Structure formats: C-alpha cells, structure tokens
Amino acid sequence: MTVDKKTGAPKNKSKRMCKHEGIVKRLQQRIAKAIEENRQGKVKALTRLLVTSHSAKFLAVKTVTSITKANTLPEWMEWFGKQNKIKLMLNKT
C-alpha cells in the first residue's frame, strides 16, 4: 500500500471511501423503505446491521479524526496522529 507523504493517508482512499459510503447509503435507503412500509421488525434488524457494520464504523472514525484545528479540535483528540488514524480505520474490532 502506498502512502501519500503529505497527509499520511493511503493513495487509494477514494475507492475505499466510495465503497463504504455506498454500503451505508444502501442500508439507510433500505431502512427508509421499511419505515414507509411500516415493517418495524425489519427496521429494527436493519438498524442493528447498520450500527454494527464495519463501513459505518469506518466512516465514523474518518469523520471524527478528520476535524482540523481550525474547526476547534478538542484536546483529547490531539493524540490522533496520522498513523494512528489509519490504524483505527483499518481496525476491524
């Protein structure tokens, strides 16, 4: 895997991000359709699937760690280095 020297992020990140964003978007669409059809059991199952999915966790970590100092980065997040950020996103736990 090649890494961009400026950002420390993998160069093929756009493909990976698109993949995860697509998975989350499809799950959200399925949840919306189940709500319209008043299928509460399906809504509950799909919501649980979305919350526990690796893609949703990946996007959540990406969103939290991509905040810049200009956007008032909390002090507790300063330990998130570039390498730790990549490790957190690739961690499947």
For residue 56, tell me if it sits in a domain. Answer: yes
For residue 5, tell me if it sits in a domain. Answer: no
- Token digits of residue 36: 């319209």
State the pTM of this model: 0.58
Q: Are 86 and 8 in contact (CB under 8 A)?
A: yes
* Higher pLDDT among residues 8 and 43, named by residue: 43
Domain that holds residue 51: 13-90
For residue 82, tell me if it sits in a domain. Answer: yes
CA atoms within 13 A on the CB side of 4: 11
- Token digits of residue 10: 């993998």
20-76 pLDDT per residue, tens: 899 999 999 999 999 999 999 999 999 999 999 999 988 888 877 776 555 555 555
Closest CA to 25 of 89, 87, 10, 33: 33
Domains contained in the chain, number: 1
Closest CA to 47 of 61, 33, 60, 28: 28
